[in-house]
Amino acid sequence: MTVSKTKKFTSEDVHKIAKLANIPITAREEAALAQGFNTTIKVVDTLFSVNVKSVTPTSQVTGLENVFREDEIDGERQITQDQALANAPRKHNGYFVVDQILEDD
């Protein structure tokens, strides 16, 4: 896989990205971010130039494995619906009642 080494980010590119993400940034920040993006691309280009054909791919390096257990219901820790609703300030037909929250953008 090769990455184009000719692409350079400009302040205008950063401005478009910020506008799409709805992030307000200043002209100074645009210039700084463009420079940072270009530095990152240089590092990635360097990584792509490293010969890794003889390296075995790995998905993780710690040697840890997932430990699974049966999904069992612990009846001693289970409470009834009435117990769960006992201290609810508002309830209706066996459910908690909460206020609706709508925000306008």
| 6-47 pLDDT tens trace | 689 999 999 999 999 999 999 999 999 999 999 999 999 898
Domain residues for the domain of 40 are 11-48
Kindly state whether residue 100 falls inside one of the protein's structural domains. Answer: no
Could you count the other beta carbons within 10 Å of the beta carbon of residue 32?
A: 14
Q: Write down the residue that tokens 């006992």 correspond to.
A: 86
Average pLDDT over residues 44-68: 88
Kindly state whether residue 17 falls inside one of the protein's structural domains. Answer: yes
According to the model, what pLDDT value does residue 6 have? Answer: 65
| Residue 95 bridge partners (DSSP) | 92
According to the model, what pLDDT value does residue 5 have? Answer: 58
Q: How many domains does one find in the chain?
A: 1
According to the model, what pLDDT value does residue 1 have? Answer: 44
- What is d(CA 91, CA 13) in angstroms, rounded to the nearest whole number? 53
Kindly state whether residue 34 falls inside one of the protein's structural domains. Answer: yes
Q: Find the CATH number of the domain harbouring 36.
A: 1.10.20
Q: Does the pLDDT value for residue 102 go beyond 60?
A: yes
Average pLDDT over residues 64-82: 90
Kindly state whether residue 61 falls inside one of the protein's structural domains. Answer: no
According to the model, what pLDDT value does residue 90 have? Answer: 96
